[in-house]
Amino acid sequence: MNADSLVGRNLLSINDLSATGLAEVLEVAESFVEVSGRSVKKIPALKGKVVASLFFEESTRTRLSFETAAKRLSADVLSLAVASSSVKKGESLKDTIETIESLGIDAVVLRHRSSGAPHQVAGWVKGARVINAGDGTHEHPSQALIDLFTVRRALAERQGVESRDSGLSLLKGAKVLIIGDINHSRVARSEMLAYAKAGAQVRVIGPGTLLPSDVGIFGAQRADDLEKELANADVVSLLRMQEERGSGDFVPSLHEFSALYGIDERRAALIRPDAVITHPGPMVRGVEVSSAVADDPRMLVRQQVANGVPIRMAILFLALSTPGESLHG
Ligand code: CP
């Protein structure tokens, strides 16, 4: 699937969307930014719709921003507290989904430790849209859309142009460097695919044991000289070591990873003043990023979190629309 529009569709992977489809999400999100600045942060676009929020794995940003996004669109939110649900009594994912669907839902936002779980759920539900909020080491498509949106806005500001209605042109040709644990990172997979679709030049660097053997299938290239790449990049994307997925077993120690690939003040000084640094969060200060660099003015981590709401509003709005519906209709 490589659709030109998310309207009426699931979002399981960045590969569900063409470049036109990615640009559509960014443009709709621009129209929702203004809602977050209002005193009454609510529009009736999804009034009467029900969004189920099912997080089988820990989350701060993704869960809060999807739920906030659904509420800003006036949808009702069913939030399953997995730790105190019947999942703990042994209920399967399929039975859990069928139970929730019986309550009458329009969309499921799913985070799960198993890669492919949202694809399975999409095959089980009768009519609800399925949104992947991060599945195992596979993908985190809404995070990649946030990152594109945030970087597009930052590049527009630096160039003194409007990001709105700019499509993907500001990202075309941008040099994106993704650093760290690529193998276990669903954000890295979605970012590589999304930046490459947007026409950026994507390079990845990290310990050999934490790089996929062929990043070409994601539209990226391997790089091997960190300092040269930092000086050349327009966008430096940092990733957390995915310790819960065993990343630590692939490097001699976190200290060594940090010494070889962590971005500290010395390495940050190599990054151009007009370049940007991103991190999907949560950051682990002192491992992939020093505390000073985490607070560097080029670091966009806070903007990424803020942009999570309009991007996820756009995703829910489009996925729950039918062709021909007008925005805010
Ligand atoms: N970036 C991200 O997915 O963060 P959370 O795990 O807090 O949702």
Q: What is the pLDDT of residue 249?
A: 82
Looking at residue 326, the DSSP 8-state letter turns out to be P
Q: Is the CB of 183 under 6 A from ligand 1?
A: no
Q: How confident is the model at residue 329 (pLDDT cuts 50, 70, 90)?
A: very low
Q: Could you tell me the domains of the chain?
A: 14-139+308-319 (3.40.50.1370), 141-305 (3.40.50.1370)
Is 301:278 a contact under the CB 8 Å cutoff?
yes
pLDDT at 325 over 80: no
Please give the distance, rounded to the nearest whole angstrom, from the Cα atom of residue 283 to the centre of ligand 1.
Answer: 10
Q: What is the pLDDT of residue 327?
A: 56
Q: At what angle do helices 186-197 and 141-159 cross, to 10 degrees?
A: 50
122 vs 83 pLDDT, higher one: 122
pLDDT at 326 over 60: no
User: How does pLDDT run across 166-209, given as a tens digit for each residue?
Assistant: 999 999 999 999 999 999 999 999 999 999 999 999 999 999 99
Q: How confident is the model at residue 161 (pLDDT cuts 50, 70, 90)?
A: very high
Please give the distance, rounded to the nearest whole angstrom, from the Cα atom of residue 40 to the centre of ligand 1.
Answer: 26
Q: How confident is the model at residue 165 (pLDDT cuts 50, 70, 90)?
A: confident
Q: What mean pLDDT is predicted for residues 252-278?
A: 96
Measured CA to CA, the distance from residue 7 to residue 138 in angstroms comes to 23
Measured CA to CA, the distance from residue 285 to residue 301 in angstroms comes to 13
Mean pLDDT over all residues of the chain?
A: 95
CA-closest residue to ligand 1 atom 4: 61
In the chain, the amino acid numbered 286 is G
How far CA 72 is from CA of 43, 146, 314, 324, in Å, comes to 6, 17, 11, 22
Please give the distance, rounded to the nearest whole angstrom, from the Cα atom of residue 322 to the centre of ligand 1.
Answer: 29
pLDDT at 21 over 70: yes
Q: Which atom of ligand 1 is nearest to the CA of 111?
A: 8
Percent of the chain surpassing pLDDT 90: 89
Please give the distance, rounded to the nearest whole angstrom, from the Cα atom of residue 326 to the centre of ligand 1.
Answer: 31
Measured CA to CA, the distance from residue 142 to residue 83 in angstroms comes to 24
Q: Is the CB of 308 under 6 A from ligand 1?
A: no
User: How does pLDDT run across 31-60, given as a tens digit for each residue?
Assistant: 999 998 899 999 999 999 999 999 999 999
Looking at residue 223, the DSSP 8-state letter turns out to be -
Given ligand 1 and candidates 54, 55, 57, 62, which is best to mutate, with the most ligand atoms within 8 Å of its CB? Answer: 62
Q: Is the CB of 206 under 6 A from ligand 1?
A: no
Please give the distance, rounded to the nearest whole angstrom, from the Cα atom of residue 192 to the centre of ligand 1.
Answer: 18
Strand 276-278 vs strand 50-55: parallel, antiparallel, or unpaired? unpaired
Is 174:168 a contact under the CB 8 Å cutoff?
no
pLDDT at 270 over 50: yes
Please indicate, yes or no, whether the overall pTM of this predicted structure exceeds 0.75. Answer: yes
Measured CA to CA, the distance from residue 199 to residue 220 in angstroms comes to 11
To which residue do tokens 């996004």 refer?
Answer: 69
Q: Is the CB of 59 under 6 A from ligand 1?
A: yes
CA-closest residue to ligand 1 atom 5: 59
Strand 50-55 vs strand 76-80: parallel, antiparallel, or unpaired? parallel
Tokens of 42: 């609510």
Q: Which atom of ligand 1 is nearest to the CA of 64?
A: 8
Q: What is the pLDDT of residue 5?
A: 97
Q: Is the CB of 282 under 6 A from ligand 1?
A: yes
Separation of first and last alpha carbons in the chain:
27
pLDDT at 299 over 80: yes
pLDDT at 13 over 60: yes
Q: What is the pLDDT of residue 251?
A: 85
Secondary element (H or E) of residue 278: strand 276-278
